[in-house]
Amino acid sequence: MKIRLLAGLLALGMAAAGCGGATVESSPSASAGAPQGGSSSSAGTVKIAINPWVGYEASANVVAYLLKNELGYTVELPEIKEQLAWEGFENGSVDVIIENWGHPDLKKTFIEDKKVAVEAGSTGNKGVIGWYIPKWMADKYPDITDSKNLNKYADLFKTSESGDKGQLLFGDPSYVSNEDALIKNLKLNFKVVVGGSEAALIKGAQQAQEQQKPLLFYFWDPHWLFNKTQLVRVNLPAYTEGCDADPKKVACDYPEMDLDKIVSKKFADTGGKAYELVKNFHWTNEDQNAVANDMTNNGMTGEQAAKKWVEANTATWQAWIPK
């Protein structure tokens, strides 16, 4: 601790001593004080941002566990929302975003323009965004899973918030979304009701299945909720290359996304073995859901769940460890 404080003061002094003002990169560590003084024996510190959904946390914890126990790094896991985490690349408060969903605009800003971040390859996870209904609805109305028939059932989905149209429940505004355009271009008699958070979606889905209540909502896979609640995807017109090029004219389903990893430029250049491990990390949706499910529904901490997975899947992660 003392060392860090000294380092902070030193940085301040150095910056004041005529390096022409302070830039954000020279700031002291921005995240939580590591418990019991980061001892000098460790190989270094890696900061993996925790974006606020459990699947992400599962990946981050497994990587963190291996960094700590196999390579001897200290790992910090600051909790930051998606877009803000990218800004963390700039000032060194974030080294790694372990699960990135698309975001071409951010890639342009931070990778191409500012050159503070680089791509570090696929996570192996396939991201599928779509419209879902509780399973009981698909059983009762077999043709409802085709979006062409949605208007026939619009009345079922009416709520106190959607007026005389059916409700399509949406989540956190930071998500990738074409909902408004889809409703308009597919001429659906629906209205997007904004939940505002992932919690709003999960609670809604759980209740819809348990209480046999109609619900149409935006959701995504991989997600631990699929281990707990039965959901069925509604088929929108199939995705074809480029059909989502103009955000206002989208009339097709979301593409399957190859989730990838983004790291800061500095980490890619100087991260050594830690960077190698992050780059090699590659697993499946089932792997992630298993860890996420342990964390959410079996009362385990991220570290415990990661340990359980690591112990059961030695062959998988052995390949990630740099020689």
Among positions 193-232, residues that touch another protein (CB under 8 A) are 193-200, 202-204, 206-207, 210-211
The binding track of 290-309 with respect to another protein, each residue x by CB under 8 A or -, is -----xx--x----------
User: Pattern of binders to another protein over 24-53, x per CB under 8 A?
Assistant: x-xxxxxxxx-xxx--------------xx
Residue 82 makes contact with another protein by CB under 8 A: yes
Contacts of residue 125, defined as CB under 8 A and 6 or more positions apart, other chains included, come to 55, 59, 99, 222, 259, 283, 284, 285, 288
From 154-162, 245-253, 257-265, 310-318, give the range in contact with another protein by CB under 8 A.
Answer: 154-162
> Which one among 40, 41, 160, 318 touches another protein, defined by CB under 8 A?
160
Is 105 a binding residue for another protein by CB under 8 A? The answer is: yes
* DSSP state string for 245-285: SSTTT--SPPPPEEEEEEEEHHHHHH-HHHHHHHHH----H
Task: At 74, list the tokens.
Answer: 């200290």
Q: Which residues pair with 122 in a beta bridge?
A: 260
- Nearest-CA neighbor of 260 among 46, 59, 81, 94? 59
Distance CA 291, CA 287 (A): 7
Which listed residue (106, 182, 250, 305) binds another protein by CB under 8 A?
106
Q: Is 72 left (phi over 0), alpha (psi -120 to 50) or beta?
A: left
Nearer Cβ to another protein, position 112 or 241?
112
User: Based on CB atoms, which residue is closest to another protein, 18 or 242?
Assistant: 18
DSSP state of 112: I
Distances (CA, A) of 96 to 62, 147, 206, 254: 13, 38, 32, 26
Nearer to another protein, 121 or 226 (CB): 226
79 binds another protein (CB under 8 A): yes
**Inter-residue contact 221 to 195 (CB < 8 Å):** no
**Cβ closest to another protein, residue 93 vs residue 264:** 93
User: How crowded is residue 19: how many other Cβ atoms within 10 Å of its Cβ?
Assistant: 10
| Interface residue with another protein, options 118, 138, 168, 169 (CB under 8 A) | 169
Q: Is 93 in the site for another protein (CB under 8 A)?
A: yes
Question: Helix 302-312 and helix 285-297: axis angle, to 10°?
Answer: 140
φ, ψ for residue 247 (rounded to 5)?
Answer: -55, -25
Q: Give 245 or 315: the residue with its C-beta nearer to another protein.
A: 245
Token representation of residue 186: 């597919």
The three-state secondary structure class of 221 is strand
Stretch that binds another protein, among 13-21, 61-69, 250-258, 306-314 (CB under 8 A): 13-21
Q: Does 5 sit near another protein (CB under 8 A)?
A: yes
Q: Closest approach of Cβ 315 to another protein, in Å?
A: 29
The answer to whether 179 contacts another protein (rule: CB under 8 A) is no
Q: Which is nearer to another protein, 42 or 174 (CB)?
A: 174
Provide the minimum distance between the beta carbon of 103 and another protein in the complex, in angstroms, as a whole number: 10
Given 38, 44, 78, 237, the residue binding another protein (CB under 8 A): 78
Please list every residue from 252 through 271 that binds another protein, using CB under 8 A. none
For another protein, give the closer residue by CB, 125 or 229.
229
